[in-house]
Structure 1
Amino acid sequence: MYTREETAEGGLPVDPLKAVHQVQGVTALEFMHYFYDDKYKMDWDHTLNGMNVVERISRDTMVLHQKHKTVWPAAPRESLFVSHIRRVDDLKTEGAYDLYIVCNKDVSRTDVPVTSSSGVRVGLTVSMICETVVKNGKALSELSRDDVQCNIIYVSQGKSPNFMC
């Protein structure tokens, strides 16, 4: 994992992060399904107190509002962002079976105000790429879980104005 501290215009802290990982026995679509689908977010994202879908724009695009757990002495944080998933096989590496990407970008909406008078809305940009690699060159009909691997690249950048109490 790679991270560094930066500041944006106006002196706001920006925390870019990059992580690279591999998961054996899972396809890119399976991994992305749990990352993107709102039904599972509360199961795996332990930084959340709550989450709801504000708008389902299409089958592959939605707007999410998340309330994050508060860590003292930080002010309560929440995020509002559009999330989009897409299969992009034309960008996969040679020998890979498929490639999916999820992109999350903060948005502003007047119909979703910050819920706490002391809370702050976190700005964010997140992308995760998952690629299925089939090992041993087997035909799809002959594959077992041992023959697939998901390569993951996760990058994020967040901004938290007025982060401290």
Structure 2
Amino acid sequence: MNLTAWELQRAGVPCTVVADNSCGQLMREGKVDCVIVGSDRTAANGDVCNKVGTYLKALAAQDNDIPFYVALPESTIDWRCDTGQEIPIEERDSLEVLTIAGVDYAGQGLEVNLAAADTQAANPAFDVTPARLVRGLVTEHGVFEASEAGLTQLQGRL
């Protein structure tokens, strides 16, 4: 998040860093003009797999009539993957959710539990956003419809 803000600032793009879960509320308040996210993997039908939480942002954008775009390099399109349902979702270590590492006031490293002992946690790293929620795929070759037809058009330009 902070790296993205730094890059946007260097490019002269106005941006504001916010708490991840505040996005839906900010959209409802009319404080968001457009949503642009990345994609780690894109299926041939336009479904996109990105960091977990992307799907919820797409739903909030749709509910608030805010355009939702996905910026991706052509290299992330998996032409052999028909739909996002075929993309395996990585499940990360539950300790990433249950603990946090930091440094105390004396400069000593420590790890703090964020939940009671024996708490179970799920930690999916990615989610899939259906193409129907995506206004367009922004690539180095132009903007294309998030659909099989749109990606076929892109493939014709390669």
Select the structure that is richer in helix.
2
TM over 0.5: no
If the length of structure 2 is used for normalisation, what is the TM-score?
0.25
Select the structure that is richer in strand.
1
